[in-house]
């Protein structure tokens, strides 16, 4: 007669994520002093500070991004986007690159926006170009670069052109070789069109889901970048003054590892005065296009098969674009 | 992960942002201009979580027994568990501002530098209160030598490095991840016994040097008077 359970299944004690969350919180609160003693070593303390700093600095931009994503899903029907963008894909890539100027945020904001654009039927090539262009060519970044490099207008111009071309070349490469099946199915799903009050529901629900999805990956990127930031020896920065090729490579890798906000990286580059301008320019062109937290966000949003192909390609293209722009606008490797 | 858990996590995450923005702890991690952003992001995050909870509760009351909205297309968002990490870090560990460990870690080559610079004349004052950034760049790169022979007051924390004692400050452009140090070497042994990360206000003069400073140059500073001060609310220079 023990068969009563199936009639009232919801009465059974089921361990769901809510219970797990409560237990984790309880354990963490009870073990607070232990937790603090673990973080008493200088290196861990520095790492923890950098981790929280990256999260705190990037989260507002991610929130901005998911709000825009929600707004696109709820208020911009797919047919409007179709009408605005040129029908030819290669032309749409150009429009997308230039319109990156309008979204004044750092790279975390543009990932959910690009995903929503694809969901609403924008050609992936154009959306990906926007993804790369928005964090690098917006007015805030340009102004902060000009402030960080007073008396070097070539630096600002070279960064703008290098980043814009990185974005557009990646878009054109996608048209030629990109495959839709690399992108996870959930990123391609189009939301049903809604009217009236339902729009606000869609807005809030899309923004909420995007924030939950992307937030975890942002945290992952911040964790890795903080760990490497503590582990990478400081000597990497100096002692590269006269090895140009090595300097360019090291600065490109550092841009990926440090995952700086695109609005602040110019100040870091400016402070590395031991290096010639060219490696520092490469640092500025690579950073907003591909770094660890961006890779984590892309892998989470578009799927791992996509990120594993897209990020290395972006790295190569952005290094080349940075070098070429530097040779053109800085007048050689100063 | 269940929808309810996601919403609770959003409340916690938004709460953490609001907490550091309101208590001023955010100054350990980002520059002051970020405060409105943090308040906005915290409020939006809390709101998105709260709205979803209220709607789910209302929907469950209207149609008991049916699935909550959104459940049907839930996918296992395991990554969302990571949102716990910053929440726990902010509420339980509360990492301090960057200090002496960061200075010794990133020491080489990353001192604020100016290729060739002309600085505006210094304002009057004796002793003159200066930021370490301004002092170090003038000591190293000012062709007019404007700090030579001036009594100045500097505020920073103690760093012990390879037998030398420094007074240092971290400079950030946006957040602590992009911080780099500026420092002077303290002459005399007044500060040698002090623990690292002790905040000091020192008054004294620069040891005049040839103005051909290279990156990584640390000016020497003759200490006149020295007193311990509490850590400032805003630990960084910009």
Rg (chain A; Cα; Å): 22
pLDDT at B213: 58
**pLDDT reading at B85 higher than 70:** yes
Lowest mean pLDDT among A27-31, A277-281, B70-74, B202-206: B70-74
**pLDDT reading at B1 higher than 80:** no
* Contacts for A120-124: CB closer than 8 Å, 24+ residues apart: A120/A72, A120/A73, A120/A76, A120/A77, A120/A78, A120/A81, A120/A190, A120/A191, A121/A78, A121/A81, A121/A82, A121/A190, A122/A81, A122/A85, A122/A92, A122/A96, A123/A85, A123/A89, A123/A92, A124/A174, A124/A178, A124/A180, A124/A183
Sign of CA dihedral A198, A199, A200, A203: positive
| Shortest Cα distance, chain A CAs vs residue B137, angstroms | 12
A313 CB-near residues (< 8 Å, 6+ apart): A170, A173
Instruction: For B82, name the nearest residue in chain A, comparing CA atoms only.
Output: A216
**pLDDT reading at A7 higher than 50:** no
Residues A259-305: pLDDT tens digits?
Answer: 877 777 887 787 676 678 899 899 999 999 998 888 988 998 898 99
| Cis-peptide into A174, omega within 30 deg | no
| Shortest Cα distance, chain A CAs vs residue B145, angstroms | 21
The answer to whether the CB of A78 falls within 8 A of the CB of A120 is yes
Lowest mean pLDDT among A115-119, B43-47, B136-140: B136-140
Phi-psi region of A184 (alpha: psi -120 to 50; beta: other; left: phi over 0): beta
ipTM of the complex: 0.90
pLDDT at A216: 85
pLDDT at B173: 77
**pLDDT reading at B69 higher than 70:** no
Domain boundaries, chain B: 3-95, 101-228
| Cis-peptide into B127, omega within 30 deg | yes
Percentage of chain B lying above the pLDDT 70 cut? 86
The DSSP H or E segment spanning B6 is helix B3-23
Q: Give which of A169, A157, A155, A163 is closest to A278, Cα–Cα.
A: A155
The C-alpha angle A290, A312, A218, rounded to 5 degrees, equals 40
**pLDDT reading at B109 higher than 50:** no
pTM attached to this predicted model: 0.82
The answer to whether the CB of A145 falls within 8 A of the CB of A155 is yes
**Smallest Cβ distance to B178: which of A32, A215, A264?**
A264
**Set of chain A residues whose Cβ sits within 8 Å of the Cβ of B40:** 60, 63
Q: What is the mean pLDDT of residues A209-231?
A: 83
Residue from B16, B48, B83 whose CB has the most chain A CBs within 10 Å, to mutate: B48
Percentage of chain A lying above the pLDDT 70 cut? 89
**pLDDT reading at A70 higher than 80:** yes
Q: What rounded mean pLDDT belongs to chain A?
A: 83
pLDDT at B41: 94
Q: What rounded mean pLDDT belongs to chain B?
A: 84
Count of A–B CB contacts within 8 Å? 221
**pLDDT reading at B68 higher than 60:** no
**Set of chain B residues whose Cβ sits within 8 Å of the Cβ of A267:** 173-174, 178
pLDDT at B71: 45
pLDDT at A8: 47
Q: Is A54 on the interface with B (CB under 8 A)?
A: yes
Is the CB of A45 less than 8 angstroms away from the CB of B115? no
Lowest mean pLDDT among A166-180, B147-161, B215-229: B215-229
pLDDT at A306: 93
**Set of chain B residues whose Cβ sits within 8 Å of the Cβ of A298:** none
Three-state SS at B167: strand
Q: Is A28 on the interface with B (CB under 8 A)?
A: yes
Pseudo-torsion of CA B160, A53, A23, B6, nearest 10°?
-170
pLDDT at A237: 58
**pLDDT reading at A257 higher than 50:** yes
pLDDT at A3: 42
**Set of chain B residues whose Cβ sits within 8 Å of the Cβ of A112:** none
Task: Return the residue matching tokens 């029907």.
Answer: A77
The answer to whether the CB of A95 falls within 8 A of the CB of A126 is yes
B101-228: CATH, from 2.30.30, 2.40.50, 1.10.260, 2.60.120: 2.40.50
Q: Give which of B220, B192, B218, B215 is closest to B204, Cα–Cα.
A: B220
**Smallest Cβ distance to B79: which of A18, A35, A300?**
A300
**pLDDT reading at B29 higher than 80:** yes
| A19 vs B153 pLDDT, higher one | B153
Residues A114-146: pLDDT tens digits?
Answer: 988 888 888 899 999 999 998 888 887 888 888
pLDDT at A312: 95
**pLDDT reading at A9 higher than 80:** no
pLDDT at B73: 46
| Shortest Cα distance, chain B CAs vs residue A80, angstroms | 26
pLDDT at A156: 92
**pLDDT reading at A315 higher than 90:** yes
**Set of chain A residues whose Cβ sits within 8 Å of the Cβ of B34:** 56-57, 60
Residue B110: band (very low, low, confident or very high) from pLDDT cuts 50, 70, 90? very low
**pLDDT reading at A72 higher than 70:** yes
Structure tokens, B53: 């909870």
Lowest mean pLDDT among A154-163, B9-18, B182-191: B182-191
Residue B154: band (very low, low, confident or very high) from pLDDT cuts 50, 70, 90? very high
Residues 208-247 of A with CB under 8 A from B: 208-209, 211-213, 215-217, 219-220, 222-223, 225-226, 229-230, 234-235, 237-239
């Amino acid at each position: 007669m023990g068969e009563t359970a199936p009639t009232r299944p919801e009465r059974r004690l089921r361990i769901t994520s809510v219970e797990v969350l409560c237990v984790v919180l309880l354990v963490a609160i009870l073990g607070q002093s232990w937790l603090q003693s673990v973080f008493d070593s200088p290196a861990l303390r520095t790492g923890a500070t950098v981790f929280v700093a990256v999260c705190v600095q990037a989260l507002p931009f991610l929130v901005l991004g998911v709000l825009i994503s929600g707004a696109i899903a709820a208020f911009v029907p797919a047919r409007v986007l179709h009408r605005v963008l040129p029908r030819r894909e290669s032309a749409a890539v150009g429009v997308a690159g230039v319109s990156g100027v309008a979204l004044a945020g750092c790279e975390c904001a543009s990932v959910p926006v690009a995903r929503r654009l694809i969901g609403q039927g924008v050609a992936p090539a154009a959306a990906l170009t926007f993804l790369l262009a928005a964090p690098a060519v917006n007015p805030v970044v340009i102004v902060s670069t000009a402030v960080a490099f007073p008396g070097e207008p070539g630096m600002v111009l070279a960064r703008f052109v290098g980043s814009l071309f990185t974005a557009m070349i990646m878009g054109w490469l996608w048209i030629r070789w990109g495959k839709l099946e690399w992108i996870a199915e959930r990123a391609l799903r189009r939301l049903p069109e809604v009217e009236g009050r339902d729009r606000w529901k869609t807005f809030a629900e899309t923004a909420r889901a995007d924030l939950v999805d992307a937030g975890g990956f942002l945290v992952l990127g911040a964790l890795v970048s903080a760990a490497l930031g503590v582990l990478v020896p400081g000597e990497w920065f100096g002692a590269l003054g006269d090895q140009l090729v090595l300097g360019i490579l090291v600065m490109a890798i550092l841009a990926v590892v440090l995952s700086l906000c695109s609005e602040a990286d110019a100040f870091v580059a400016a402070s590395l005065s031991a290096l010639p301008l060219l490696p520092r320019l490469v640092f500025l062109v690579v950073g907003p296009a591909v770094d660890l937290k961006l890779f984590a966000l892309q892998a989470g949003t578009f799927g791992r098969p996509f990120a594993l192909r897209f990020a290395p390609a972006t790295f190569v293209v952005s290094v080349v674009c940075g070098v070429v722009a530097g040779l053109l606008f800085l007048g050689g490797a100063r | 992960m269940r929808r309810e858990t996601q919403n609770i996590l959003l409340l916690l995450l938004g709460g953490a942002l609001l907490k550091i923005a309101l208590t001023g702890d955010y100054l350990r991690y980002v520059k002051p201009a970020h405060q409105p952003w943090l308040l906005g992001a915290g409020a939006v995050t809390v709101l998105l979580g709260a709205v979803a909870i209220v709607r789910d509760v209302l929907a469950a009351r209207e149609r008991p027994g049916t699935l909550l909205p959104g459940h049907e297309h839930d996918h296992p968002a395991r990554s969302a568990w990571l949102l716990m990490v910053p929440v726990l870090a902010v509420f339980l560990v509360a990492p301090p501002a960057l200090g002496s460990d960061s200075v010794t870690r990133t020491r080489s080559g990353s001192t604020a530098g100016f290729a060739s610079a002309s600085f505006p004349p210094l304002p009057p004052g004796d002793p003159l209160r200066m930021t370490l950034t301004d002092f170090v760049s003038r000591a190293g790169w000012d062709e007019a030598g404007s700090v030579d022979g001036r009594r100045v007051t500097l505020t920073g924390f103690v760093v012990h490095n390879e037998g030398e004692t420094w007074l240092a400050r971290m400079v950030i452009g946006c957040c602590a991840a992009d911080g780099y140090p500026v420092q002077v070497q303290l002459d005399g042994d007044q500060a040698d016994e002090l623990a690292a990360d002790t905040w000091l206000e020192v008054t004294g003069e620069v040891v005049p040097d040839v103005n051909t400073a290279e990156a990584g140059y640390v000016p020497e500073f003759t200490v006149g008077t020295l007193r311990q001060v509490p850590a400032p609310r805003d630990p960084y220079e910009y």
